[in-house]
Amino acid sequence: MSSAWRAYALRTRRRRNLWRAFRSRHALRAVKDRSGAIGRDDILCFMSVRNEALRLPHFLDHHRKLGVDHFLIVDNDSTDGTRDLLAAQPDVSLWTTKDSYKRARFGLDWVTWLQMRHGHGHWCLTLDADELLIYPYWQTRNLPALTGWLADQGLPAMAAMMLDLYPEGPLSQAQIAAGDDPLTVLRWFDPGNYGLRVQDRTGNLTIKGGPRARMFFQNDPRRAPTMNKIPLVYWNRRYAYVNSTHDLLPPRMNAVFANGGGERISGLLLHTKFLPEIIPKSAEEKDRKEHFTNSTLYDRYYDAVMADPVLHTAASEQLTSWRRLEALGLMSRGGWV
């Protein structure tokens, strides 16, 4: 494919995704729209959720402490109290929908509409409820400090790799209550076994590996989850994510890693997926078939999770400090000192 034709195809795809997002606005019903309180320099967080009442109190607290000013959230027909919990938060604007998560490009159509309407000209985080952003100096330097530095460097986005965290024993033993920090029980991660390559079409970096790749997809590594994301972006209403937050259009926004020597700043998304609730949720999602394009291909993955496995091995490492994560090559300061 010629470069001109590739550019045309990607431009067409971006416009199609934006049009899908615009149409999806009819599926959303405002529960609490507090977006009028958003200030000019506020940092925003966008997400779609379903049945995340266990994680959300700590998720909100963690990102508030980092410096998020306002959360714009779509609730996809939760049944566990998620909607009421979010509606009661003074810094949350909440919409709800009963429409198919899968048919909405796994929630991206809904989130993209909110970004088009509210995110333009703001630094925006796009996250899942089981992701906790950290970055170099995150405990002493807040998001305004980070985004100010990124702007000074001419960097409109920051990449972050998902780091799957897991307990030492079976998944069912990692019990927490709503509001608890999941990192008190999910203390372990894979320090290595990550592979990467550059996608020719969009120029984004693809990373695979970690405990899900070695435990559940060892016979078909191509289907292992993609670990790289671009969660922090200085947003323009013409932008659109392609597949989760793994890649972004226009394609120049995927240039979030250094390719001429040196390193570029990156963070981590501490992935708290492996709490005990994943066992019944896997049974539900296997039946709902809302999380994968070809859902039946992942039935064995769901079955393996429902068997309550132990992900910990002798090679696992305990989560300690961001400096250790940087030393392992999992995040980088990229010149931020």
Q: Give the pLDDT confidence of 133-158 residue by residue, as tens digits.
A: 999 999 999 999 999 999 999 999 99
Between 184 and 296, residue with greater pLDDT: 184
How much of the chain, in percent, has pLDDT values that exceed 70?
A: 96
- At 120, the pLDDT band (50, 70, 90 cuts) reads very high
List pLDDT tens digits, range 80-106. Answer: 999 999 999 999 999 999 999 999 999
With 80 as the cut, is the pLDDT of residue 227 above it? yes
List pLDDT tens digits, range 231-248. Answer: 999 999 999 999 889 999
What is the pLDDT averaged over residues 298-321? 94
Q: Give dist(CA 244, CA 46) in Å, integer.
A: 12
Between 74 and 292, residue with greater pLDDT: 74
User: Among 142-146, 216-220, 270-274, which is the least confidently predicted range?
Assistant: 216-220
Q: Give dist(CA 53, CA 133) in Å, integer.
A: 19
With 90 as the cut, is the pLDDT of residue 261 above it? no
Residue 291 is predicted with a pLDDT of 64
With 70 as the cut, is the pLDDT of residue 259 above it? no
How much of the chain, in percent, has pLDDT values that exceed 90?
A: 80
- At 285, the pLDDT band (50, 70, 90 cuts) reads confident
Between 198 and 25, residue with greater pLDDT: 25
Q: Give dist(CA 203, CA 85) in Å, integer.
A: 39
**Residue 21 in tokens:** 């997002």
What is the pLDDT averaged over residues 52-65? 98
With 70 as the cut, is the pLDDT of residue 8 above it? yes
Amino acid in position 133: L
Residue 218 is predicted with a pLDDT of 87
What is the pLDDT averaged over residues 35-40? 97
Mean pLDDT of the chain, nearest integer = 93
Q: 296: helix, coil or strand?
A: helix
Q: What are phi and psi of 206, to 5 degrees?
A: -110, 125
With 60 as the cut, is the pLDDT of residue 260 above it? no
CA distances from 284 to 82, 98, 289, 301, 302 (A): 17, 16, 9, 13, 9
What is the pLDDT averaged over residues 94-122? 96
What is the pLDDT averaged over residues 106-115? 97
Strand pairing class (123-126; 228-234):
antiparallel
- At 262, the pLDDT band (50, 70, 90 cuts) reads low
Helices (H) and strands (E) in the chain, counts: 9, 15
CB atoms near residue 106 (< 10 Å): 18
Residue 196 is predicted with a pLDDT of 85
